[in-house]
Amino acid sequence: MRKFEQLTSVESANEFIMRHRLAFLYITMTGCSVCHGLQPQVQKLLTKYPDIQQGTINAQEVPAVAGSFSVFTTPVLLLYVEGREYIREARIVHLDLLDEKIRKIYDLVTGQSSDETVK
């Protein structure tokens, strides 16, 4: 299973988003039990989408991330396509609905079905 790339500044997060056609950003905080419980589940979900690059940033360690990405709670899950935000989920995330949203965008952007990439 691929790991999230650790991002350590707002600049590195913005560079990560711009560097990858499909970029998934997971914003967390150190003492957030929801963040830590959800991250492995999201990581597993993203294995279906090999073209999506995964990055994470800790809003407690990089406080400027809250203002830069309009984050008011954690976790926040963001999917960017060519530098533009397409999906934003926060706090309580329904993985089935998230999967459905990602699949629709992924299939349009890559021109292939995410079901085909898993086989």
What is the b/e burial string over 51-80, where b = at least 16 CB atoms within 10 angstroms of the residue's CB? ebbbbbbbbeebeebbebbebeebbbbbbb
Radius of gyration of the chain (CA): 13
The Cβ of residue 22 has, within 10 Å, a number of other Cβ atoms equal to: 20
pLDDT value of position 75: 97
* CA 5 – CA 97 distance, rounded (Å): 24
Put simply, whether the predicted model's pTM sits higher than 0.85 gets the answer yes
What is the per-residue pLDDT across 38-71, written as a single tens digit (0 to 9) for each?
A: 999 999 999 999 999 999 999 999 999 999 999 9
Helices and strands (H, E) in the chain, number of each type: 5, 5
The answer to whether the CB of 35 falls within 8 A of the CB of 41 is no
Closest CA to 10 of 43, 58, 73, 72: 58
* Contacts with 98 (C-beta within 8 Å, 6 or more apart), sequence order: 42, 45, 77, 87, 89
Phi first, then psi, for residue 73 (nearest 5°) are: -155, 170
Per-residue pLDDT of the chain (119 residues), as tens digits, is 789 999 999 999 999 999 999 999 999 999 999 999 999 999 999 999 999 999 999 999 999 999 999 999 999 999 999 999 999 999 999 999 999 999 999 999 998 765 555 44
